[in-house]
Amino acid sequence: MPPDFRGLRVLLFQCPQAGASADRIVRLGGVAVEAPDPAIEASRRDEWAQAILSARADLVLFHRPDQVPALVGAGADRLLDAFRGTGIGSFDPETSAALRQAGLTPDHEADPSEPEDWIRELARRGRDLLERKRRSRALGVDTNRWRRIDAAWEAGPGREHRAGRADSPFLRACRREATPYTPVWIMRQAGRYQREYRDLRSRVPFVDLCRNPELAAEVTLMAVDRLGVDAAILFSDILTVLEPMGIPVRFDRADGPGIDRPIRTEADWRGLPEPDAAGLEFVYAAVRLARRALRPDLPLIGFAGAPFTVASYVVEGGRSHRFENAKTMMFHAPDLWDRILGRLARLIAEYLNRQIQAGADAVQLFDSWAGCLAPDDYRRFVLPHTRRLIGSLSGPAPVIHFATGNPALLELLREAGGDVIGLDWRVDLGQARRRLGDGVAVMGNLDPVVLLAPPQEIRRQVGRILEKAEGRPGHVFNLGHGILPQTPPGHVSALVDAVHELSAR
């Protein structure tokens, strides 16, 4: 499934950048309609406004800010109305600002760090973005002034089609059923590697981003728009769940989230309230908003931190390399440790069940720090709580159980539960499948650093992992951990394309 405009008519205005763009549009299967620059040839403005009014253009590309008022001024209200069903591409943030000032929302903006990839990215995503825009317009959405979360796909109740999504490649792979290609999504697929996300974070503190349902849902949809992945994952944080426990978390530290009053003694623990996951309604609202705006056939993944990883934050007060405080409690105060993990397991189970009720089609349990444990210690101090949590999850939503850092725990992770076991990059995928057996799917497991390599090397490494998967049902492609902040966005798109193309059956 290489990038392909598939016959879309793309209108662009002649300027120094446009010639190369037109050539690429044609090579990628589109029809390039070159128009005189409206900012220069004022006499032709009405002609090109009419091309949009008569729907002879599916996409209109703006390379410079001054092209916007020059063209939009020619058609006034009629032209603005026509743009409600026409895709709009913007070459840079300045042009996007001019479009918004004129009353238009760009559907796709080039990444300034990779302007040469703009046309390729439009070929990858243009048809899907155009379909969303036209279907939303038909349902009464003002697609000139809208956000991703305003998208509408079908009218009336029942529009979520949970049963229909069950046949998606991602959910079929979770159930170890045959798929037309290997589905792929990526941990931290919405995050700091994206300029749009960084711009948003420069205006909104992280904790507010997580607590505002509209913003959290918008970020959730951001990665789907750009990447064309086979599942969306809710934007949130694994420590959000601590709020109803009365444990405040600070997200303003350079070294990650921090807890000013960690729980290390019986006295610290005594008096904390029995938590109620109903207090996290802002998360469930974000799930509902994201689910409503996503394509009806695209699954949404909810998630939470696993009891051990969340407890480690609570006891350590933040990130740790040796986990001395958490391990000291395990060995010296095992009863207190069990009570902390027991309470967390109950809370997290209710939290995930409420995400499923709100519209999550699958859930992932992140045990990011479990790799610090010896197998015997995991079995004694962690496994019973994780197993109880996973056993408490209701409904058909598959559970992805992901831990990092210790391949020796694989069999124990399966024993703890989950329909899919996530693998980090330090284990051979083929060997891991043999160790886990046939009754569970796997997810992974490309080293995130590979995405810093050239696209041809990314493609080679993708092929290597797909070979180890042997085309057998039950493989979801992912990284072995989250996308690194310095990753070029185009390399992430190249990964998604490589997985889809090389695994097509």
313 is catalytic: yes
If 0-12 CB within 10 Å is exposed, 13-18 middle and 19+ buried, where does residue 492 land?
buried
Q: With beta carbons less than 8 A apart as the criterion, state whether 443 and 198 touch.
A: no
Q: Name the token pair of 293.
A: 């705006």
Spot the catalytic one: 237, 361, 419, 424. Answer: 237
Residue from 34, 68, 28, 27 nearest 51 by CA: 34
Amino acid present at 470: E
Q: How far, rounded to the nearest angstrom, does the alpha carbon of residue 219 sit from its chain's CA centroid?
A: 8
Residue 505 CA to residue 497 CA, distance in Å, equals 15
Residue 165 CA to residue 231 CA, distance in Å, equals 10
Residue 60 CA to residue 88 CA, distance in Å, equals 5
192 is catalytic: yes
Residue from 101, 88, 25, 96 nearest 61 by CA: 88
Spot the catalytic one: 201, 319, 388, 426. Answer: 201
Q: How far, rounded to the nearest angstrom, does the alpha carbon of residue 64 sit from its chain's CA centroid?
A: 30
Q: How are beta strands 420-422 and 399-403 bridged, if at all?
A: parallel
Backbone torsion region of residue 145, taken as left when φ is above 0, otherwise alpha when ψ lies between -120 and 50, otherwise beta: beta
Spot the catalytic one: 44, 175, 192, 388. Answer: 192
Q: Which long-range contacts (CB under 8 A, 24 or more apart) does 148-151 make?
A: 148/217, 148/218, 148/221, 148/222, 148/225, 148/293, 149/214, 149/217, 149/218, 149/221, 149/289, 149/290, 149/292, 149/293, 150/293, 151/221, 151/293
Q: With beta carbons less than 8 A apart as the criterion, state whether 189 and 233 touch.
A: yes
Spot the catalytic one: 45, 188, 264, 291. Answer: 188
Residue 299 CA to residue 232 CA, distance in Å, equals 6
Spot the catalytic one: 193, 197, 284, 313. Answer: 313
201 is catalytic: yes
The catalytic site residues sit at 188, 192, 201, 237, 313
